[in-house]
Structures are given as structure tokens and as C-alpha cells.
Chains A and B, each alone.
Chain A
Amino acid sequence: MDELETLRELYGEPQADPFLKARTRGRVEAGIREHLEAGARGRRGAGPRRRTGTGPGRRLPWAPAVAGLAAAAVVAAMTVVAGTTAGERAGPGRISTVSGRSVLLAAATTAASEPAATGAYWRVRKLHRQPHPELLGRGENRYRLVESRITEQWVARDGRVWSGSRALGAHPAGKADEDAWRRDGSPAEWSSRGYVLSASPEKGRIKAAAKVPFSMAGRAMTFEQIQGLPADAAALRDWVSRAVREEAAAGALTGTREAGTGTGADGGGAGNGAASGPLDGPLDGPLDGPLDGIVADALSGLLWSKPSPPAVRAAAYRALAELPNVRYLGEATDERGRRGAAFSFTLRTAPVPVQRTLIIDPGDSQVLSSAVTGPPGSGGDRVELVLEAGWTDEEPAAPGLP
């Protein structure tokens, strides 16, 4: 092996979250539009704007089932966001802290009593939803679209892994958006200067993935390593805290790596642009992001994004119950109308606060949904709904429609 090969090993294969391409494309097309409009303003008597065959004038069949889901989803999201602010205040917050702890401890008891691996594969199927960064439509009829995607991750007991993905299309975000969309002529395909967003779902895809598919606070974890995590709450919390400190010291937690949007990634959403630890030299600024938020995120990831054994899930719930930065927001309904208990913690505070809100079902200890604050101006939270999680004897296949 020569030094170039060693170099490629050093750099490895970075992964992109499922929305990265669409998100970047949105930014590029917005930039191109600005550039062209600035150019047009600069020229006298600029010609009319070009429209192409994929522009808003062309209509494609609408997918009503998915659209209804989208509309319902946003209403539910608003409810949870409202609860987030209320929960921060002193009065109700204090009282609910006590009951929040008991909710988590009850979930721990349920989790501990679940059977261990009961199928050939562990599988998690999630519905991801995030607002499209650009407003679309013409004239006064501007509206926000939400893009949806199904992702699935399958893990065999021998450690083989598959990742599935399926874009579900874009749909008006809320009631007002839907009204504006109708006034705009109900287009089912949108073009922003050459890029096309469609209301129609894509075909599902699935592929064999790499063997170390999970990460906790930026640290790679195999299936076997997750099986071997401490089953005692204090020991698990110490293990996770140490991992978080080490990753932060290594600079692995810089920026805004999106917890949960990558393949099994979580726990890395906190930190800040200059995260570093005492081991680093003067090149790096001091860590001012809250590490306790990353610890909470890494622990919660064991509940819903990883094939954690029942005892480890129970320990994670117990550890979360003792964390002072985990706030109980009260009862909430997720975007599919499932009732549960909402908890929230701050992933980072700068440059803008980013929070994760989880809704769990204490009855069966499953996490129902996660919402992470979107960047300013992005139109709302990035939401993941857990549609299925656990062991199955089904075979890995491309994701079907929800």
C-alpha cells in the first residue's frame, strides 16, 4: 500500500444526510436567481423571463394522501413548538419536571421488560419532513413547501446493514400555504430556474451500507458495540459523557452536524463552530456549547435510532430522567396524531439556539417523533417520525409509501 492509498484511508468516506443534495440545490438555485436578476437589472431593456417545460405552468397528478399527511403534520408541529416556550417558564415547568422524571422512569420499566432480539433484522423506518428553504408560487400567491422522505435502516444480527430511502415529494406546508397554492393554479411540479421539485413520490431505493453504521456523539459504533453498552444508568451516563468529552476534545463535534438525519447518526448536533477541548492548542477557541445537551442527545439516540438491547434502553431512560437539562413539556401529539409525552433539550446555544424535542409513548417506551429547530428563515423544524422500530423477520426491501 503506498502513501496515496494510506491517505485515502485517512480521509475515509464522508456521508451526506438525505436532504443535503436538495438543500444545497435550493441554495444554489436561489443564488443563481439572484445573480441573474442582478444581471437583468444591470442591463437596460432586459427581455422577459424564460419559462420552460418544467415550469409552474405544467401540471402533474397530485398525490392527495401524502398531501393530507403534510397538512396535518404542520398543525401538530406548531402545538409542540408552542409547548416548548411555555415549558421554559418557572411555574408550570417546575411542577412538570417532577412528573417528567416519573414519565421517563415509567418508560424505563416498560423498556426493561421488552423481549430481546426477536427477529432476523432490526429495522427503523422514519418519515423525515423539512420545509423547503425557498418560498414558491407567483405574484401574491407565495407559499411554503414541505419535502418529505422515508428512510429505513436494516441491521442483520451478523452486522450487515442496509439503508433505504424514498422521496415522497413536496407539498404545501400549512393551510395558508395550501390556499395560496390553489390560487396559484395547484401546480404539482415547481421549477426554480432550472431545478424541479415534484409533488410525486420517487421510487424507493435500498443498498447495502457500511458495517459501522451508527454513531454516538460523532463516535462510530458497530452493532456489537451497542449490544455491549452498560446496562446501569449511572455507568451508561458516564460512558456517554466520556465519549462526548473525548469527541469534543478531538474537534469531532464542531458545527451543526444534524443528529439523526444521517444514517443512524445522532448525538452530534450540538457543539459549536469552534468546539474544542483542553487537549487542543491555541488554534481553537474555547468550547462554549453545552456538552450536557450532547450527552442528552447521545442517550436519547439509544432509544430510537439504534438497536439497543432492552436493558440499555431502560438505562438510557433512567439516565435521561436524572439529567437537569432535559425539560418535560407535558403531553403532546405527534404529526401522525399519536399521543405521548414531550421532552426537550438544547443542542447548542450559538449562533442561534437549536433544540431537539422528542415525543415518547410511555406505554410502550417507543420514541414517536423528533423535531429539531431549523435554521433561521428555513420555515420551521426538521421533523422525524418513527413509523416502525424494532425486530422483524421481514427481508430488507426498498421503502414503500407510508
Chain B
Amino acid sequence: MTAPPRAVRPEEEAGAGPLSLDDPESFGAVFDACFAEIHRYVAQRLGTDHAEDVVAETFLTAFRKRASYDPSRAGVRAWLYGIATNLVGRHRRLEVRTLRALGRYGPDADAPAHDERVAVRVSAQSLRPELAAAVAGLDRRDRDVLLLVALAGLSHEEIAAVLDIPYGTVGSRLSRARRKLRAALGGNPMLDPEEAGRG
């Protein structure tokens, strides 16, 4: 991550020309294009009450470190997710507390379920505490990879780039995390028919 700042890849565009980190003006366009999803990710991990600070710090950090952004390795969006992930990592206790609340009462009460998900939610409800505890119990590095896949939708390649870890490590951390989640959810035929069949 040492190349000079440049325009991002075409798929990162928000419809109004290429995004660039070059100066404060174009950085504003990056903010506009990416604020909502970065906030969503941070609020999911740390709760809405604390997301605002971390999200502001994410964009400030991005601006300060824009010279180290390498567009050949990852898009701006993925890069911001990487910065946010590192900042979230400084709030481990808060993340654990947020997970505990999610486990007991489900997602932020201000953020209701999508209609089509209500039925699913009911079936998963009884396992929320177990799942939340399993996520909280993961090694932080495994959890980061897991959530960058599940919540941010980043590819293995993007995760390797923005967390600065080898490509193979992304896969091994992800499978370890998923294995632990499956174990926590095991025994519920609604969620894991294969294992229930074996058991």
C-alpha cells in the first residue's frame, strides 16, 4: 500500500465520475458514496450509539493516510472497511457488550426486520444468545474476517489487501470462524439440517 493516490476502480463510482482521494473536494465525494455502508457496518459491530465517533475517525484516518492507499490492490470502499475494522478492534469490550445485547434482544430496536425476513427471524430467535456468544468468543482476527465477509460482503482478495494478510490466511480464518458458529448453532434442524441428520 505505497502507491500514490489515484482514482478508484469503476465499480466504486457512485454515478458522478471517478472517486479520488486526491484533495478535500473529491474526498467529499468518497464520503458521500461510502458513508451509509461504513456506518452500517460499524453500527452493527459497536451499536448505533458509538458508531458515529468511529465512522468519523475512519474517514479522517483515510484522509490522513491517503498517500498510502494503493488502488491496484483494493477499491476505496474496501480500504475504508479495512480502516473501520482496525478502529473497531480498539473497542473490544464494547463489541462484546453489543453482541450480548444482540443475543438477548436482537438487532437495535430502532432497526426493525425487513418484512420478508420476519419468518426467518422467528426461527433463529431462540439461538441468538448462542450465536452472539460464539461470535464474541472468536479470536478477534477471525471475527474481523468473518464479519468483512458476512456484513461487508468483501471478497477474500479485498480482505487480504485491506487487512494486509496473505490470501490463504483469509480462507483459513474464515473457515475456523464458520466452524465455530456451526458448532454453536448445531442441533437445530432449521439451521443446519446436515449436522442434525448426523446427530
Contacts and interface: CB of A to CB of B under 8 A. Distances in A.
B77 interface: no
Given A9-B120, A211-B118, A283 B56 contact: no
Interface in A2-40: 3-4, 6-16, 20-21, 23-25, 27-29, 31-32, 35-36
A236 interface: no
A286 interface: no
B64 A35 contact: yes
Residues of B in contact with A, size category: 35 or more
A24 B36 CA distance: 11
Interface stretch (A67-75, A248-256, A325-333, A392-400): A248-256
Contacts of A250: 100-101, 104-105
Nearest to A252: B101
B164 interface: no
Given A32-B27, A250-B105, A256-B49, A1 B120 contact: yes
A219 B105 contact: yes
A262 interface: yes
B48 A257 contact: yes
Interface in A203-219: 210-213, 215, 218-219
Contacts of A251: 97-98, 100-101
A151 interface: no
B21 to A, nearest CB: 11
A52 B27 CA distance: 14
B24 A29 contact: yes
A125 B147 CA distance: 37
A6 B48 contact: no
B24 A252 contact: no
B43 to A, nearest CB: 4
Given A16-B39, A220-B112, A284 B97 contact: yes
Interface in A265-323: 265, 268, 276, 280, 283-284
Interface string B39-56: 110011101111110011
Interface in B79-116: 93, 96-98, 100-115
Given A3-B191, A28-B60, A262 B110 contact: yes
B185 A3 contact: yes
B140 interface: no
A11 B114 contact: no
A76 B66 CA distance: 45
Interface in A323-382: none
B60 A32 contact: yes
Contacts of A27: 56
B17 to A, nearest CB: 14
A3 B124 contact: no
Nearest to B50: A255
B25 interface: yes
A20 B109 contact: no
A12 B178 contact: no
Contact of B151 (A8, A24, A54, A268): A8
B51 A9 contact: no
A384 interface: no
A24 B28 CA distance: 12
A6 B113 contact: no
Interface string A53-78: 01000000000000000000000000
B46 to A, nearest CB: 10
Contacts of A152: none
A84 interface: no
A74 to B, nearest CB: 25
A35 B60 contact: yes
Contact of B96 (A8, A16, A31, A283): A283
Nearest to A209: B112
Contacts of A218: 108-110
Contacts of B56: 24, 27-28, 31
B22 to A, nearest CB: 11
B6 to A, nearest CB: 18
13 contacts: A1-B124, A6-B181, A7-B181, A8-B151, A9-B124, A14-B44, A23-B52, A28-B59, A195-B31, A252-B108, A254-B97, A264-B110, A283-B97
Q: Which 4 A-B pairs have the closest CB atoms?
A: A12-B107, A255-B49, A212-B112, A14-B43
Interface of B: 23-28, 31, 35-36, 39-40, 43-45, 47-52, 55-56, 59-60, 63-64, 93, 96-98, 100-115, 117-118, 120-121, 124, 127-128, 131-132, 135, 146-147, 149-151, 178, 181-182, 185, 190-192
Given A32-B24, A193-B25, A211-B115, 19 more contacts: A1-B191, A3-B182, A3-B192, A4-B150, A9-B124, A12-B106, A12-B108, A14-B40, A14-B48, A24-B55, A29-B24, A36-B24, A194-B25, A218-B110, A250-B101, A251-B97, A254-B47, A254-B97, A283-B97
Interface of A: 1, 3-4, 6-16, 20-21, 23-25, 27-29, 31-32, 35-36, 50, 52, 54, 193-196, 210-213, 215, 218-220, 247, 250-252, 254-257, 262-265, 268, 276, 280, 283-284
